[in-house]
């Protein structure tokens, strides 16, 4: 809604700035994709694909769905549009609506917005660290405080099978205590039992073997160097052995961001990780990759709760008023001339009454009102009314643009001077009261 747009503007601008500064190119992804992309990419046994997809058949009997997330689409585009031959890593960013058929809650809608960053073609842990750094920079730009980073490594095809065996045998012995979903997950995707939110499952899981204790040498050194990079950029993290991120494609690094509010409640802002097998799984060559995504609706909720100043676009300082049929006819053209020369103008052309137009101009805090009446319309002149001084004069229209710019500049300088004087005055008062305190 319009009232929310200043927050969205601020968020989009901050994300765009980081994308430009870190050399991530924008990519726009289709909202509709073949269902198979997410079944193969995100994983058939994940909640997103299994329970939450908006999927249907087209007239041509193709299986399509509204995208539930961005990463598989980015990888599809990477393969389909020859980005394999680009210098690596290929750095891409996107934002837009995603769709999940979930129970709507506060900050969690069936149509929700995400932005995301993906770097394809590099396995070095410095890219993982850079992803986290970029996310943190965006939170910092939005003045979202108390963001905590949860971090884990869930291994690779080398080390995970043996870990899975350990986990399955541990869980099998405690099968009775697991929820229905987890009993099923035990067969399809045992790692997912680790991040089940059901009370009885979290109890079982708290004593389960941890992925980080069973990493192969490659995964271990990758994780260690990520932690070193994070220390170097002074980003604190908390290691979470139960963090697995619910999607099939993650390998090695997984991470999530949470914002703590005043009451201590945590809001998930987003997360990501490494997905070294996804490109291959979708038909490409073996290509490592890493990325993250954040929920924009969530971020905006947090911004509002933290009383963060959103982005307000500049407002017009000129108001164009017209009186009579001839003037009304000319007003669109005059508006266009002013707009072309870079002057922002407010109007309420539907009104004919000059008094209502002037009171509108007052409400909008216009500095100058340009009035065209019957005579001015015929003469090619304009009445320029200065709202600060109250004075007004008639001048040829072709001179108004220059005059308006001159006056606006003067007003801006005056306002600046006034602000400076007030700041000095305040400073003096502060010093005075400081001295008084000292004397006491």
- Is residue 208 part of the contact set for Zn ion (CB under 5 A)? no
Give the one residue of 159, 204, 289, 366 binding Zn ion; rule: CB under 5 A: 159
Structural element, H or E, at residue 150: strand 147-153
What is the size of the binding site for Zn ion (CB under 5 A)? 11
Q: How many CB atoms lie within 10 A of CB 135?
A: 24
8-state DSSP, 193: G
Give the one residue of 49, 182, 204, 327 binding Zn ion; rule: CB under 5 A: 182
Torsion angle of C-alpha atoms 116, 109, 39, 124, degrees rounded to 10: 20
Structural tokens at position 12: 């989009």
Q: By C-beta, is 216 or 354 nearer to Zn ion?
A: 216
CB of 430 to Zn ion, least distance (A): 59
CB of 219 to Zn ion, least distance (A): 3
Give the one residue of 28, 158, 228, 280 binding Zn ion; rule: CB under 5 A: 158
Give the one residue of 74, 138, 201, 282 binding Zn ion; rule: CB under 5 A: 201
Structural tokens at position 170: 């541990």
Give the one residue of 68, 155, 270, 273 binding Zn ion; rule: CB under 5 A: 155
CB of 97 to Zn ion, least distance (A): 30
CB of 185 to Zn ion, least distance (A): 7
Q: By C-beta, is 58 or 177 nearer to Zn ion?
A: 177
Structural tokens at position 358: 């002037």
Structural tokens at position 168: 């399955």
Q: By C-beta, is 132 or 156 nearer to Zn ion?
A: 156
Q: What does the DSSP assignment read for 382-436?
A: EEEEETTT--EEEEEHHHHHHHHHHHHHHHHHHHHHHHHHHHHHHHHHHHHHHHH
- Is residue 212 part of the contact set for Zn ion (CB under 5 A)? no
Say which residues have a Cβ less than 8 Å from residue 96's Cβ, sequence separation at least 6: 28, 29, 31, 70, 113, 114
Q: By C-beta, is 77 or 186 nearer to Zn ion?
A: 186
Would you give the end-to-end CA distance of the chain in angstroms? 55
Whether 383 and 376 have beta carbons less than 8 Å apart is answered as: yes
Give the one residue of 31, 126, 179, 395 binding Zn ion; rule: CB under 5 A: 179
Choose the stretch contacting Zn ion; rule: CB under 5 A; options: 50-58, 122-130, 212-220, 367-375.
Answer: 212-220
8-state DSSP, 44: T
Q: How many residues does the chain have?
A: 440
Q: Which residues in this chain contact Zn ion in the complex, by CB under 5 A?
A: 155-156, 158-159, 179, 182, 196, 198, 201, 216, 219
């Amino acid at each position: 809604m319009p009232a929310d747009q200043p927050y969205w503007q601020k968020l989009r601008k901050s994300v765009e700035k980081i994308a430009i500064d870190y050399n991530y190119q924008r990519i726009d992804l289709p909202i509709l994709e073949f269902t198979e992309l997410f079944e193969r990419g995100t994983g058939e046994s994940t909640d997103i694909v299994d329970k939450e997809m908006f999927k249907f058949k087209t007239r041509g009997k193709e299986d399509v769905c509204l995208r539930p997330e961005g990463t598989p689409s980015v990888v599809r585009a990477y393969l389909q549009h020859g980005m394999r031959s680009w210098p690596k890593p290929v750095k891409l960013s996107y934002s837009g609506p995603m769709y999940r058929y979930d129970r709507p809650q506060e900050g969690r809608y069936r149509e929700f917005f995400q932005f995301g960053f993906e770097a394809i073609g590099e396995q070095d842990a410095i890219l993982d660290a850079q992803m986290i750094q970029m996310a943190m920079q965006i939170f910092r730009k939005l003045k979202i405080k108390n963001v905590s980073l949860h971090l884990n490594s869930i291994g690779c095809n080398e080390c995970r099978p043996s870990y899975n065996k350990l986990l399955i045998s541990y869980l099998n012995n405690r099968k009775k205590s697991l929820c229905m979903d987890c009993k099923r997950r035990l067969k399809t995707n045992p790692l997912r039992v680790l991040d089940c939110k059901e009370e009885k499952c979290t109890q079982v899981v708290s004593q389960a073997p941890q992925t980080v204790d069973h990493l192969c040498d490659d995964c271990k050194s990758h994780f260690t160097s990520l932690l070193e990079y994070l220390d170097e950029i002074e980003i604190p993290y908390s290691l979470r052995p139960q963090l697995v991120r619910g999607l099939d494609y993650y390998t090695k690094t997984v991470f999530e961001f949470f914002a703590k509010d005043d009451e201590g409640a945590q809001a998930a802002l987003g997360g990501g990780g490494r997905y070294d097998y996804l490109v291959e799984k979708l038909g490409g060559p073996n290509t490592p990759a890493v990325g993250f995504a954040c929920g924009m609706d969530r971020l905006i909720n947090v911004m509002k709760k933290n009383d963060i100043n959103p982005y307000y676009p500049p407002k017009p300082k000129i108001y164009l008023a017209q009186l009579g049929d001839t003037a009304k006819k000319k007003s669109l053209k005059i508006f266009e001339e002013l707009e072309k020369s870079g002057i922002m103008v407010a109007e309420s052309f539907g009104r004919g009454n000059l008094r209502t137009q002037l009171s509108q101009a007052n409400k909008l805090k216009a500095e100058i009102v340009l009035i065209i009446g019957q005579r001015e319309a015929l003469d090619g002149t304009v009445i320029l009314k200065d709202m600060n001084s109250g004075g007004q004069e008639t001048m040829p229209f072709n001179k108004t643009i220059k005059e308006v710019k001159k006056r606006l500049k003067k007003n801006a300088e005056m306002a600046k001077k006034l602000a400076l004087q007030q700041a000095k005055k305040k400073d003096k008062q502060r010093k005075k009261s400081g001295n008084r305190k000292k004397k006491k």
